[in-house]
Amino acid sequence: MRLPPRPVRRLLGVAILGLLLAAVLTLPLLALVALVASPWLPGPMRGVRLLAFAVVVLLVESTLLLAALALWVASGFGYWVARPKFVRAHHTSLRIGLDVVVHAARWLFQLDIRTDGRSWSPLDDGVPGSENAMVVLSRHAGPGDSLLLLQTLMNRDHLRRPRVVMKDSLQLDPATDVYFNRLRSAFVRPGAGDEAEAQIAKLASNLGEEDALLIFPEGGNFTPRRRLRAIDSLRRGGHDESAERAEAMQHVLPPRPGGVAAALDAAPHADVVFVAHTGLEHIVAFRDVWRAIPQDQTLSMQWWFWRADQVPTGRDERIAWLFDRWGEIDAWIASYPPSESARRT
């Protein structure tokens, strides 16, 4: 899909502000409709909760866009926007916005988010003397997991500065477009191949101790059909061993090693963190938010930490290592029963 030019995309930001104004002006009517519809929706007061969450998201998105406009003006209409103090201001605005959205979701939908409990803050998780940069390799399971992972990386416990590899179509979201084009990130086109790997290598260069490069090696959300297509693609490419290993994994897509290798080659000093999560995998499109958002559930996250000197450097060894780790993620997901929302879809 070819994206509209940036000036046209900026009009989407104006539309977001207009939606927020319309929502505020019609909020009593919307609340009445949500209240009447709630008895026919699963979960107590689901319509009201969804309306409240939608208003929060619109408010956060609008506030982020207005903050970005103020920073653009303050930075000499963008001339000094790459200076450290303006980069820090963008990170702070984004972190606060993510915190509000995640906390609103936890409160409105009574979600309990649990991790493995291990500490991996910048102060205590690297090899002594290392720069302690991070490459974070995560399972891909919809926009909800991406938002939650970003918030975890950026919150006050970790305060990481994320550099994110994401699909270029995500620039259709106004706040994502503005903030991640000003911060260091890579918007890659599906099937870009060498071009995408070059973008990732450039993004991984000069990773500092507060930075975390976030990659989703599967390249897309898991579906059974995509899994079969990925396995077939491996076989057609002559990667029979990888295809056999992918067939043994039932809950994830086979990881694509090209982008991971590009990142690790460009940042050999970086520690590596693998992330798995379960509970949000069925929230892929807006219709899924309406019918399948989890409520009164526990969302689980698991982290596996590898020091930079533990990461293989040879091509074949690194591919085998990556598939081993993805097999661990698959086994971890299999250990959790399907959520109620998953069974309804």
Can you give the residue ranges of every domain in the chain? 6-344
Instruction: Tell me the two tokens of residue 286.
Output: 């807006």
Q: What is the pLDDT of residues 187-210, one digit of tens each?
A: 998 877 789 999 999 999 989 888
Residues 6 or more apart from 48 whose CB is under 8 A from it?
31, 34, 35, 38
CA–CA gap between residue 234 and residue 243 (Å, rounded) = 5
Determine the topology of domain 6-344 in CATH: Glycerol-3-phosphate (1)-acyltransferase (3.40.1130)
**b/e per residue, 175-205, with b = 16+ CB within 10 A?**
bbbbbbebbbbbbbeeeeeeebbebbbebbe
Which residue numbers in the chain have pLDDT < 70? 1, 116-131, 142-143, 279-296, 337-345
Which pTM value belongs to this model? 0.88
117/67 Cα distance (integer angstroms): 34
pLDDT in tens, 279-333: 665 555 545 555 555 566 777 888 888 999 999 999 999 999 999 999 999 999 8
